């Protein structure tokens, strides 16, 4: 499938998605959301890829936010719909049972920071700048930013960055736990691929279950401990569970099939 604002590149068993609106610093307009929705809702769950990298086109930005130019036409109910729709699409990324890593190659502001936070990990280029500047526009983050920033860096710093709208450089993002790694600019995508390749050697069903259990910790309707023992029981019924234990005792590499 060809998308209007997303470039898709398959590299072995990994897919690299590039948000491709360089002239608007890859800002998320309605069409880009439709593209992301289709990819993460319809394509990614059944794709042969074991994991995904999300990055931005060009040298300057990962994603500079929601498309501010589309805001002028928004009224209350439309804005509420836009925000809910963005949240729902980002939940599809967060809840995907395959790892998604944001390769943050520049500005990750507003909706761009929220997109990066919905991914399971973030590799930041030295040039990356994170931030939720929405209050400066007289609005608030709308794609999960007020919730996920707290989850990732804690209430105190989340309050500070969201209320001041200050940008955070890559080193600070690493120190606060927003970024998993900081790398030279040109290594941003390759570092994300390196992490995914490491995960590719693990049991895919187990990987998916870990993502679910960790997400469940943050879902007030779920008990993460219950998810864990239930998931443990489910995984123990799979062929991969037998293969993992057998490979260990036979001192060989496990050959997982995802069954
Ligand atoms: N929406 C639409 N267009 C954007 C954009 C955005 N979020 N960010 C940048 N652009 C456009 C600019 O308008 C400009 O287009 P023109 O050449 O047609 O004027 C082009 O991208 C290049 O941008 P700048 O000239 O501004 O580049 P710069 O290097 O001087 O500044 C920047 C870079 C600091 C990232 C600056 O562009 C900026 O502040 N952008 C807006 C960031 C922002 O406020 N994001 C939050 C959006 S609100 C949101 O995301 C809400 C939500 O959670 C639901």
User: Strand order in 14-19's β-sheet?
Assistant: 6-11, 14-19, 51-56, 100-104, 121-125, 181-183
Q: What's residue 56's pLDDT?
A: 98
Whether ligand 1 lies within 6 angstroms of the CB of 132 is answered as: no
Rounded to the nearest 5°, which phi and psi values hold at 124? -105, 135
What is the pTM assigned to this prediction? 0.97
Length of the chain: 259
The domain segmentation of the chain, as residue ranges, is 6-200, 204-249
CA angle in degrees (0–180, nearest 5) for 51-52-56:
165
Q: How far apart are alpha carbons 75 and 128 in whole angstroms?
A: 32
Nearest to 25 by CA among 55, 53, 3, 58: 58
Is-catalytic flag, 22? no
Mean pLDDT taken over the chain: 97
Q: What's residue 72's pLDDT?
A: 82
With a cut of 80, say whether residue 1 has pLDDT above it: no
With a cut of 80, say whether residue 2 has pLDDT above it: yes
Q: How many CB atoms lie within 10 A of CB 169?
A: 17
With a cut of 80, say whether residue 19 has pLDDT above it: yes
Q: How many CB atoms lie within 10 A of CB 35?
A: 23
Whether ligand 1 lies within 6 angstroms of the CB of 133 is answered as: yes
Residue 86 token pair: 């963005």
Taking CA atoms only, the protein residue closest to ligand 1 atom 35 is 64
Tell me, what DSSP letter sits at residue 66? B
Residue 38 token pair: 């289709």
Q: How does pLDDT run across 102-140, given as a tens digit for each residue?
A: 999 999 999 999 999 999 999 999 999 999 999 999 999
Pick the CATH number of 6-200 from 3.40.250.10, 3.40.50.970, 3.90.226.10, 1.10.10.10: 3.90.226.10
Least confident of 24-28, 74-78, 229-233: 74-78
Q: What's residue 7's pLDDT?
A: 98
């Amino acid at each position: 499938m060809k998308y209007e604002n997303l470039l898709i590149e398959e590299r072995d068993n990994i897919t690299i998605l590039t948000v491709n609106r360089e002239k608007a610093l890859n800002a998320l307009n309605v069409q880009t959301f439709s593209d992301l929705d289709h990819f993460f809702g319809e394509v990614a769950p059944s794709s042969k890829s074991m994991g995904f990298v999300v990055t931005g086109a060009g040298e300057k930005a990962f994603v500079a936010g929601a498309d501010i130019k589309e805001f002028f036409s928004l009224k209350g109910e439309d804005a509420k719909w836009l925000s809910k729709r963005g949240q729902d699409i980002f939940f599809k990324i967060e809840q995907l049972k395959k790892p998604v890593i944001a390769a943050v190659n520049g500005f990750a502001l507003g909706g761009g920071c929220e997109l990066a936070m919905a991914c399971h990990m973030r590799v930041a280029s030295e040039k990356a700048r994170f931030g939720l500047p929405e209050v400066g526009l007289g609005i608030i983050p709308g794609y999960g930013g007020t919730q996920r920033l707290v989850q990732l860096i804690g209430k105190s710093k989340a309050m500070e960055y969201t209320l001041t709208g200050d940008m955070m450089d890559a080193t600070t993002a690493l120190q606060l736990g927003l970024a998993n790694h900081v790398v030279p600019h040109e290594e941003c995508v390759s570092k994300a691929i390196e992490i995914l390749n490491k995960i590719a050697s693990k049991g895919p069903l187990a990987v998916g279950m870990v993502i679910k259990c960790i997400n469940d910790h943050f879902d007030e309707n779920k008990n993460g401990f219950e998810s864990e023992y239930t998931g443990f029981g489910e995984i123990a019924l799979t062929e991969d569970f037998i293969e993992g234990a057998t490979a260990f005792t036979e001192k060989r590499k496990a050959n997982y099939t995802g069954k």
